[in-house]
């Protein structure tokens, strides 16, 4: 799940360092405290959410709402579940395997669904230029054109 969230944060322009995953045993309370202190220092250095990323409050809300929506998408959730099943079946939970599966199977759909949600939201107020959409979504025309074509047909 963390690999998925890091990818999603990166897609919406939020520093992935804002999410940290550490494994701590219940027999390691001192490690937990040190990890939490380190993480809090890191977050303080980054500043409030959106500030370090250079996002205006309305843009931050837009991107977070889009990310929340894509996490609820059935296709995204199904692929995520299938990846988890594959990893369990292979008994391979290495970071490399997880990263490869997420990048190969989930990231393309995650990007597509995220852009689709964002485009629909942006077009509610009327037509927008492809230049505006590519800049706002930090995407290429090649990434957005198929989505726009699908929306036009639909």
Q: Which has the closest alpha carbon to 21: 54, 12, 4, 11?
A: 4
Residue 106 confidence (pLDDT):
95
Q: How many CB atoms lie within 10 A of CB 144?
A: 19
How far apart are the C-alpha atoms of 31 and 14, rounded to whole Å?
A: 27
So what's the pLDDT on residue 67? 96
- For residue 23, the model assigns a pLDDT of 87
Structurally, the chain folds into a number of domains equal to: 1
Cα separation of 47 and 88, whole Å?
38
Structure tokens at 77: 């959730």
Domain region containing 6: 2-153
Helix/strand/coil for 154: coil
d(CA 19, CA 21): 7
Query: Cα angle at 20 between 16 and 23, to 5 degrees?
Result: 150
Residue 14: the pLDDT is: 96
Q: What is the mean pLDDT of each run of 10 residues along the chain (154 residues)?
A: 93 94 91 95 95 95 97 95 94 92 95 96 95 96 95 84
């Amino acid at each position: 799940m963390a690999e998925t969230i890091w990818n999603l944060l990166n897609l919406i322009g939020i520093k992935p360092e804002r999410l940290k995953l550490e494994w701590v045993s219940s027999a390691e309370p001192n490690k937990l405290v040190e990890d939490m202190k380190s993480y809090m220092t890191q977050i303080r250095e980054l500043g409030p959410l959106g500030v370090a990323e250079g996002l205006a409050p309305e843009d931050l809300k837009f991107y977070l709402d889009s990310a929340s929506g894509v996490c609820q998408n059935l296709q995204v959730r199904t692929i995520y579940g299938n990846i988890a099943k594959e990893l369990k079946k292979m008994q391979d939970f290495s970071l490399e395997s997880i990263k490869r599966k997420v990048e190969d199977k989930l990231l393309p759909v995650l990007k597509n669904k995220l852009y689709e949600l964002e485009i629909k939201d942006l077009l509610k107020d009327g037509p927008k230029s492809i230049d505006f959409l590519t800049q706002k979504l930090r995407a290429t025309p090649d990434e957005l054109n198929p989505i726009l074509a699908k929306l036009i047909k639909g």
